[in-house]
Structure 1
């Protein structure tokens, strides 16, 4: 059965892969992003949407109701990569990632929940991250907002069920995407580490998107998209000493990388 689907951040990365997967399934898809225009596959249309703008969200709701008469699936996917040690990342960086990655999802849910309540049907799909369930060092802001998306999604899972509305949260681990190119901020050490983890991943955005569509079709409340993510969640729950050992080891690697960068900077300045 064809569904009416809106995907935020759909012009690139995981968003674009999700658009392709939903279109291949036979769904009608509205692609949204902050660009003025973007190329989209046959079966999809495009609308500019900045997830930090309530006016843009209201325009998207009006567009969907005028063109389709409602919405079956909202995919709150838009987001930015962020991170940084607690004493390095700035408060402005914290505010930006909260506004986009958390409040962007909140705005989407607030905008389309009334539409879905009137329909007595619908599906909210919120892209979080494995970082919403497993919290490695050096990523405090990203971990916090993604954990917030997980908590929001679980809350809505129960709150909206009486209205026939399903809620899912998507929690992928590192996968190959252009997200690494968007990394910015004060903590260049963490940016370098994160880019290496993204580039070395054996999982593609297309693989993640295929698993998301399967999870949405099945109505799964938590969609763990890959084996490394499932393994990490199980380790945290059932093998806590192993999980803690891995996180402490990662923290030591961050410390060594930071000290190495500081030494290179001192040597360069003294040359």
Structure 2
């Protein structure tokens, strides 16, 4: 039985990922500022804001002390604010960076110390296709997702061969965060720009995380994996009229 931490696992991709590992028999801990849904099942919840480095350190240390190992740690927690570049406020931008980028760095940094000491581990994170090219209305969000890929490469170089590191960059995923910011018309416009013709489900992204954590992926490290239904493959990703994109 592996010990798995997933941040931001109270909804969306994080919840689906936590459930996927739990269903496989792993011991899973959710680090999230908000409580999980009733579907939380066997996943343990520790309330922590990933922007709080000391809180993250304490939570990681607690899990390691209680269960004796940290096998897989997935930094998934993220937020977005839909705004044009001329409307971005300092408060919004700092919060997006604190959660999406520094929250990943905090979780990986503290988990990595235990993984190096025990001689093994897998660090994963949720990035986004928004970090691969420009998308309107999410400049700060896009920048944090691009930075996660850089973190993955650097952590992999420093921690190999015992600790593997990778990130997943989903395209459009039908999560509560997406539904909260998009009208039905915006969702349909996004679908028209995806060769697969639809959004992914959170469970499809969870399956890819589960694969990356598996020994079958033992030669994989330092990479960013795009799971987007072909969205970034070519010209169909021309700038959207009103929809923009968020993951």
TM-score of the superposition, structure 1-length normalised?
A: 0.77
Map 1:208-219 onto structure 2 (within 5 A).
Answer: 208-217=205-214, 218-219=217-218
Q: CA deviation at 1:199?
A: 8.4
Q: Show the counterpart of 2:229.
A: 227
SS across alignment from 2:230: helix
2:47 matches 1:51: no
Q: CA RMSD in A?
A: 2.5
Q: CA deviation at 1:11?
A: 1.0
Give the conservation status (yes or no) of the 8 Å contact 1:102–1:148.
Answer: yes
Q: 2:173 aligns with which of 150, 172, 175?
A: 175
Q: Show the counterpart of 2:194.
A: none
Q: 1:196 aligns with which of 159, 162, 187?
A: 187
2:94 matches 1:103: no
CA distance in 1, matches of 2:45, 2:175: 21
CA distance in 2, matches of 1:50, 1:198: 34
Aligned length: 231
CA distance in 2, matches of 1:103, 1:93: 14
Give the conservation status (yes or no) of the 8 Å contact 1:175–1:203.
Answer: yes
Give the conservation status (yes or no) of the 8 Å contact 2:169–2:225.
Answer: yes
Q: Segments of 4+ in structure 1 off by > 3 A?
A: 36-39, 191-195, 197-202
Relative to structure 1, the CA distance from residue 158 to residue 83 in structure 2 (aligned partners, 3 Å threshold; closer, same or farther) is: farther
TM-score of the superposition, structure 2-length normalised?
A: 0.84
SS across alignment from 1:5: strand
CA distance in 2, matches of 1:135, 1:9: 25
Give the conservation status (yes or no) of the 8 Å contact 2:53–2:103.
Answer: no
SS across alignment from 2:46: strand
CA distance in 1, matches of 2:64, 2:138: 39
Relative to structure 1, the CA distance from residue 14 to residue 115 in structure 2 (aligned partners, 3 Å threshold; closer, same or farther) is: same
SS across alignment from 1:228: coil
5+ long unaligned stretches in structure 1: 184-190, 236-241, 258-271
Q: Show the counterpart of 2:21.
A: 22
CA distance in 2, matches of 1:21, 1:198: 30
* Larger of the two Rg values belongs to structure: 1
Give the conservation status (yes or no) of the 8 Å contact 1:124–1:166.
Answer: yes
SS across alignment from 1:223: strand
Q: Does 23-32 or 114-123 show the bigger shift?
A: 23-32
Give the conservation status (yes or no) of the 8 Å contact 2:170–2:227.
Answer: yes
Q: Which has the higher contact order (CA 8 A, sep 6+)?
A: 2
CA distance in 2, matches of 1:38, 1:63: 23
Per residue, is there more helix in 1 or in 2? 1
